């Protein structure tokens, strides 16, 4: 252990690392400082209550973004972060040991400067195409184990936008998804929420937002609104229009099929390098994971709803997703849209480190 390391050093690292992305800003980890050079990360997935995480893989990707952010933040102190997962941990509650080592070969990562600036933009972005140099830089961040597939022509963006529009109908008419949505939207903090998604970040106009707030009191109300008015208004504003108003859609693809928790954690680490690099280039991103999630459920026969007709809709969406995305020998692990500005005016923030310490 370096004599210069103290508990305060780890706390300073965590003050940056807490800004790592997690599904719906759930921050599904707690920290334990075991020694001045030893951090324990107690993670947990959301498969018991979130329809988007029934196999735990989206949460595992988020664990990877956190661990990569810890490693990047540690570089600012000349520290190497050696990370290992305890083999005895439960799949639903993996435990990671992070040991910090003073290393003269470690240089301060330029990504440190944007860790707390990285955010999700759910509203329209500029349609300015990505420059060749920016695409090269972004591809380099995920190499050598991953590649980026781009959907950037007008026709490709239209296909991706329609895919998201069709997936949104499934998402908005599913009672299981309703419970997730109701629990993560912060109606009180419209611009900055420490543990949810602020309502102002949803990407809809004031009238639609007001109707959503009224309807989301109960599934009965929401189902009534869906029956009488359909779901086209939120899908148009949250999926179809933004799907065209961007530079491109991207798919992060692994060169070998992910099998274990460690594989999904590694994908999350690559994703965070990509997302932070994107931020340094003035780009913003919105995750688009539902096509991958529901097509996987359909392909593997995972029961995700009590409504049989929605399982049939998922099979239709599986065919649409695979035609657009599963078009080579690689394995999609993440999808999103990105573009140059503007910056979001509302965003999720984070709980203070003290609240994230294991009790």
SS3 at position 67:
helix
pLDDT at site 268: 98
Q: Would you say 293 and 176 are in contact if contact means Cβ atoms under 8 Å apart?
A: no
Residues 6+ apart with CB under 8 A from 66: 17, 20, 22, 29, 41, 43, 268
Please report the pLDDT score of residue 107 as a whole number: 97
Burial readout 326-347 (b: 16 or more C-beta within 10 A, e: otherwise)? beeebbbbbbbbbbbeeebebb
pLDDT value for 226: 93
Tokens of 218: 């109960």
Q: Does domain 7-118 have CATH number 3.40.109.10?
A: yes
Cβ-count burial 130-168 (b if 16+ within 10 Å, e if not):
beeebbeebeebbeeebebbbbbeeeebebbbbbbbbbb
Q: Pick from 228, 272, 242, 259: which is nearest to 331 by CA?
A: 259
Q: Are 61 and 268 in contact (CB under 8 A)?
A: yes
Note the pLDDT of residue 4. 66
Q: Give the C-alpha separation, 80 to 42, whole Å.
A: 20
| Cis peptide bond upstream of 144, omega within 30 | yes
Look at residue 5 in the predicted model and tell me its pLDDT.
77
Phi, psi of 151 (to 5 degrees): -115, 95
Q: Give 265-300 pLDDT, tens digit per residue.
A: 999 999 999 999 999 999 999 999 999 999 999 999
Measured CA to CA, the distance from residue 244 to residue 158 in angstroms comes to 6
Q: List per-residue pLDDT tens for the chain, 359 residues long.
A: 444 677 899 999 999 999 999 999 999 999 999 999 999 999 999 999 999 999 999 999 999 999 999 999 999 999 999 999 999 889 999 999 999 999 999 999 999 999 999 999 999 999 999 999 999 999 999 999 999 999 999 999 999 999 999 999 999 999 999 999 999 999 999 999 999 999 999 999 999 999 999 999 999 999 999 999 999 999 999 999 999 999 999 999 999 999 999 999 999 999 999 999 999 999 999 999 999 999 999 999 999 999 989 999 999 999 999 999 999 999 999 999 999 999 999 999 999 999 999 98
CA distances from 231 to 121, 122, 157, 227 (A): 21, 18, 21, 9
Query: What is the C-alpha to C-alpha distance for residues 140 and 304, in angstroms, rounded to an integer?
Result: 36
Q: What is the dihedral of CA 320, 326, 327, 329, to 10 degrees?
A: -160
Which SS3 state, helix, strand or coil, does residue 97 take?
Answer: strand
In 3D space, the residue among 329, 324, 336 whose CA is nearest the CA of residue 252 turns out to be 336
CA 237-177-223 angle, to 5 degrees, is 75
Architecture of the domain defined by 132-348: 3-Layer(aba) Sandwich (3.40)
7-118 and 132-348: same fold? yes
Task: Delimit the domains of the chain by residue range.
Answer: 7-118, 132-348
C-alpha 271, offset from chain centre: 9
């Amino acid at each position: 252990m370096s004599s210069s390391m103290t508990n305060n050093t780890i706390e300073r690292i965590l003050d940056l690392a807490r800004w790592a992305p997690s599904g719906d800003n759930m921050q599904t980890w707690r920290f334990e400082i075991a020694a001045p050079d030893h951090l324990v990360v107690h993670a947990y997935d959301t498969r018991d209550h979130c329809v988007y995480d029934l196999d735990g893989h989206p949460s595992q990707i988020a664990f990877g973004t956190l661990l990569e952010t810890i490693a990047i933040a540690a570089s600012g102190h000349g520290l190497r972060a050696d990370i290992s997962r305890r083999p005895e941990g439960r799949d639903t509650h993996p435990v990671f040991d992070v040991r910090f080592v003073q290393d003269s070969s470690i240089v301060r990562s330029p990504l440190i400067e944007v860790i707390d600036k990285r955010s999700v933009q759910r509203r329209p972005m500029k349609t300015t195409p990505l420059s060749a140099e920016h695409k090269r830089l972004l591809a380099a961040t995920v190499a050598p184990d991953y590649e980026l597939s781009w959907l950037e022509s007008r026709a490709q963006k239209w296909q991706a936008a329609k895919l998201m529009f069709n997936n949104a109908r499934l998402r908005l008419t599913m009672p299981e998804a309703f419970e997730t949505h109701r629990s993560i939207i912060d109606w009180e903090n419209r611009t900055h929420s420490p543990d949810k998604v602020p309502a102002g970040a949803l990407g809809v106009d004031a009238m639609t937002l007001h109707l959503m707030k009224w309807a989301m009191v109960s599934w009965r109300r929401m189902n009534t609104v869906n029956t009488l008015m359909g779901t086209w208004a939120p899908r148009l504003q949250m999926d179809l229009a933004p799907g065209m108003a961007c530079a491109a859609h991207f798919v992060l693809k692994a060169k070998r099929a992910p099998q274990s928790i460690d594989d999904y954690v590694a994908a999350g680490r690559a994703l965070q390098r990509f997302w932070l690099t994107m931020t340094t280039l003035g780009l913003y991103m919105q995750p688009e994971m539902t096509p991958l999630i529901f097509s996987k459920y359909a392909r593997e026969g995972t029961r995700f709803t009590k409504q049989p007709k929605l399982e049939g809709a998922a099979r239709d969406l599986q065919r649409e997703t695979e035609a657009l995305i599963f078009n080579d020998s690689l394995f999609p692990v993440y999808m999103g849209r990105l573009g140059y500005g503007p910056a979001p005016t509302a965003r999720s923030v984070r709980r203070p480190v003290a609240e994230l310490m294991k009790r």
